[in-house]
Chains A and B, each alone.
Chain A
Amino acid sequence: MGILYAALILGAMGLIFGLVLTFASNFFAVPANPTRDAIRDVLPSANCGACGYPGCDGCADAIACGKAPVNACPVGGADVGAKIAAIMGVEPASGADRKVARVICQGDCQSAKIKYVYTGIQDCVAASTVSDGFKSCQFACLGLGTCVKSCQFDAIHIDPEKQIAVVDEAKCTACGKCVSSCPKGVIELQYASAPVALLCHNTGMGKKVMDVCKNGCIGCQKCAKSCKFGAITMENNLPVIDREKCRGCQVCAEVCPTGAIRALQTRRVAEIDQSTCIGCTICARNCQFGAIEGSLKQPHKVNAACTGCGACAEKCPKKCITMKDATAPRDPKAAVEAPATKPVLTKPADKA
């Protein structure tokens, strides 16, 4: 019989406490912001802090209050941005090109000279406290993996052969952790879609760079001089590529004597649809590389000098030029002289 009393008393107590708690939770309820909660659900929950707010909760708060843009989360990228835009009832932020971390050094164990044999703690920051690192180039990636430890997304690794850091661009979320962890400042956030990139940040000139690394930028300005679009300017003995002006012709990467500027995308080439081309020569006159040949009123052809800058396709009045991935390497020698002046005949467009 005694056990029944105990059960009854406990049950009654439970009921009373339950009622009190229900009352309290209703009476003292903090009004939640449903928008904020919805945003929080969409965010990736990595709590990496890449947005600049303390974790995903902080970011959700900021977006809900309108302090941060809907695409504030670099990890979530465009997908999450679109979802949050839907929640907030605004247009998804357009033109937000994806950024990725890039190791701007190609000073691997073959090309970069070693200053001394380092035997200390296997960490880049620790190594850089000893005579500023064991590579002769003060800007070089030390390849001891401080960035690897900092990455929450398994997107950066040390190449076992080259002994320098390599980013897996597919996994990279541009959170910037590796950038801030690198003692050499050798990692940079760059646009994933950039056709070319300078993979060196040694500000030295000529022999000084050549003495320490085979792949370093020697500040020769060949890239700047060869750029037909004026997209490259020199700053601190290093080329700066203007993203707005760059047409992706990759000529800079071609002329670079040390390979410090690298082409990151497959080269594109123009192809003229022979059936619709009217031979107006506009494309040939706009080609900076002499890559289009053909006489007036005859269908034109693209030769092996095409760099894929796309200027012809843009100007073609008949829209008969398409850009395709190149299958063969470019041959600058195939270039022909472009027609200098406008043809004196009547406008081909009128006749057609």
Chain B
Amino acid sequence: MFGLRMFPGGTHPHERVNGKSVNGGNAIVDLPAPARVVIPLQQHIGAPAKALVKKGDAVLMGQKIGEAGGFVSAPVHASVSGKVVAVEEIEVAGGARTQAVVIENDHQDAWVELTPAAHPETMSAAELQQLIREAGIVGMGGAGFPTSVKLTPAGDKVIRTLVINGAECEPYLTADHRLMLEKAGQIIDGIRLIMLALDVKRAIIGVEKNKPDAIEALRACCTGVGGDGITVMALPVMYPQGGEKQLVYATTRRKVPAGGLPIDVGCVVCNVGTVYAVQQAIREGKPLVQRVVTMGGLVNNPGNFMVRIGTPVSALIEACGGLQNGTKMLISGGPMMGASLHSDEVPVTKTTSGVLALGDEAIDPEENPCINCGRCVKTCPMQLVPARLDLLVRNGDFDQAEKCGVLNCMECGACTFACPAKRLLTQSCRHGKRVISMRRKQEAAKAAAEKAKD
């Protein structure tokens, strides 16, 4: 029956050299902290954090250097001990600009006083949520939505199931895979803590079938610590299995409505990386200052690294023995959804799951006219018609594109991957979404101006 649990559409991106097959065997190695870290104050969705330190301040590892700037926001912590040398604007992967705290490392790794929760099992849900919030934990799968907000159900929404994302469907990336193998016990413990914070009785870990060792490891821990209500589910290998809506459907057979969130069908989805961070925050009192990053593609020694937040990508590349000849593009994240980097000076953030060096295959080939083959339609996991959306957006008919559901596109890139004419369908959808949001903003501004006039 599990074999049938499939979302519609999907594709199989190639696993090329240095892809999962190679990287899956590479154990997580601690990357030495660099001489200088650049910690952006906005690494999450929502309001940017407000800097708590200024130039010249001495900071300890794990010290809070940015206060959450609102409800949907997350604090930021120092990932090394040392001296703040600047608070300046930088550009992060994806092109967004944000203030960042630059810390010169004194290589002492002196932690602030850690206050692990003594008996988290006896704590109330609200207290646990507060701990998670203070630790600055955000969705580490890539979106960066503040976890504490996710765990605080709004209004009358009832949460019944906690879905843990261990699918890791993007090619090359093996960070979650290694984490599940090496920290299975902590992950199961983390899941139990989140279940307490959410007050739910059921948790399902979704793992793609191509990671049998991880499934095995998690199952072993489930029975070992009496993981009541925790199920490890082997899912078919299909991109984008790790998409929130796809995962909820695959694990619970519930369809998240268009424009809705998993909470609308009683689910909350967390990445295994996030779960591990929650476990560390509650049991050890450690805020989120490091994460596992896969370094893959055309590097001499690909691998998985435990990297301090704020480490420049260049340090990561150096640790892997440098780039191979023929590298054309650096990508932060997976090859399907990641953002290409224009500089290797951007820092690793809470949401950087991998850094990939790709060659010629990453360069967009010349576009050809659509041949109406319908492969994009078949592939789209959101059941959209990418070819039609592409046509509408390129001809400027954004109203019609909106009616055809362009806002439901999650930019997974499956259509572009499947297109034999090499059309940039995903970028078209992104373009359409951007224009629609621009128009909405302008309309809202106009309405606000008119309201002010009256």
Q: Which residues of A contact B (CB under 8 A)?
A: 115-116, 119-121, 123, 125-126, 128-133, 138, 149, 180, 183
Residues of B within 8 A of A120 (CB): 364, 424, 427
Residue from B97, B363, B364, B431 within 8 A of A129 (CB atoms): B431
Q: Is the CB of B434 within 8 A of A183?
A: yes
Residues of B within 8 A of A138 (CB): 91, 95, 97
Q: Is the CB of A119 within 8 A of B364?
A: yes
Q: How far is the CA of A119 from the CA of B442 in the complex (A)?
A: 29
25 contacts between A and B (CB under 8 A): A116-B340, A116-B342, A119-B364, A120-B424, A120-B427, A121-B424, A121-B427, A123-B431, A126-B428, A126-B431, A126-B434, A128-B434, A129-B427, A129-B430, A129-B434, A130-B95, A130-B340, A131-B95, A131-B340, A131-B342, A132-B91, A133-B95, A138-B91, A138-B95, A183-B438
Cβ-closest 4 pairs across A and B: A132-B95, A131-B95, A126-B431, A116-B342
Q: How far is the CA of A132 from the CA of B95 in the complex (A)?
A: 5
Within 8 A of A (CB), among B282-338: none
Within 8 A of A (CB), among B405-442: 424, 427-428, 430-431, 434-435, 438-439, 442
Residues of A within 8 A of B394 (CB): 121, 123
Q: Which residue of B lies closest to A182 (CB)?
A: B438
Indicate if B154 sits at the interface (CB-CB under 8 A): no
Chain B interface SS verdict (over half) = mixed
Say which size band chain B's interface belongs to.
20 to 34
Residues of A within 8 A of B396 (CB): 149
Q: Is the CB of B363 within 8 A of A125?
A: no
Q: How far is the CA of A272 from the CA of B421 in the complex (A)?
A: 73
Residues of A within 8 A of B1 (CB): none
Residues of B within 8 A of A119 (CB): 363-364
Q: Is the CB of B428 within 8 A of A121?
A: yes
Indicate if B96 sits at the interface (CB-CB under 8 A): yes
Q: Is the CB of A131 within 8 A of B339?
A: yes
Indicate if B56 sits at the interface (CB-CB under 8 A): no
Within 8 A of A (CB), among B68-97: 91, 94-97
Q: How far is the CA of A21 from the CA of B95 in the complex (A)?
A: 66
Q: Which residue of B lies closest to A129 (CB)?
A: B430
From A116, A119, A129, residue with most partner B Cβ within 10 Å: A129
Residues of B within 8 A of A133 (CB): 95
Q: How far is the CA of A182 from the CA of B432 in the complex (A)?
A: 14
Residues of B within 8 A of A183 (CB): 434, 438
Q: How far is the CA of A13 from the CA of B362 in the complex (A)?
A: 74
Q: Which residue of A lies closest to B446 (CB)?
A: A52
Q: How far is the CA of A177 from the CA of B14 in the complex (A)?
A: 44
Residues of A within 8 A of B364 (CB): 119-120
Q: Is the CB of B431 within 8 A of A131?
A: no
Q: How far is the CA of A149 from the CA of B342 in the complex (A)?
A: 29
State the Cβ distance, B368 to closest chain A Cβ, in Å. Answer: 14
Residues of B within 8 A of A128 (CB): 434
State the Cβ distance, A233 to closest chain B Cβ, in Å. Answer: 23
Q: Is the CB of A115 within 8 A of B342?
A: yes
Residues of B within 8 A of A115 (CB): 342
Q: Is the CB of B342 within 8 A of A125?
A: no
State the Cβ distance, B370 to closest chain A Cβ, in Å. Answer: 14
Residue from B96, B97, B340, B430 within 8 A of A126 (CB atoms): B430
Residues of B within 8 A of A116 (CB): 340, 342
Q: How far is the CA of A126 from the CA of B434 in the complex (A)?
A: 8
Q: How far is the CA of A133 from the CA of B424 in the complex (A)?
A: 17
Q: Is the CB of B442 within 8 A of A125?
A: no
Residues of A within 8 A of B342 (CB): 115-116, 131
Q: How far is the CA of A115 from the CA of B345 in the complex (A)?
A: 13
Residues of A within 8 A of B434 (CB): 125-126, 128-129, 183
State the Cβ distance, A198 to closest chain B Cβ, in Å. Answer: 21
Q: How far is the CA of A56 from the CA of B253 in the complex (A)?
A: 52
Q: How far is the CA of A138 from the CA of B430 in the complex (A)?
A: 19
Residues of A within 8 A of B430 (CB): 126, 129
State the Cβ distance, B333 to closest chain A Cβ, in Å. Answer: 13
Q: Which residue of A lies closest to B367 (CB)?
A: A121
Q: How far is the CA of A120 from the CA of B424 in the complex (A)?
A: 7
State the Cβ distance, A181 to closest chain B Cβ, in Å. Answer: 8
A125 and B431 in contact, given A119-B363, A183-B438 (Cβ under 8 angstroms): yes
State the Cβ distance, A47 to closest chain B Cβ, in Å. Answer: 16
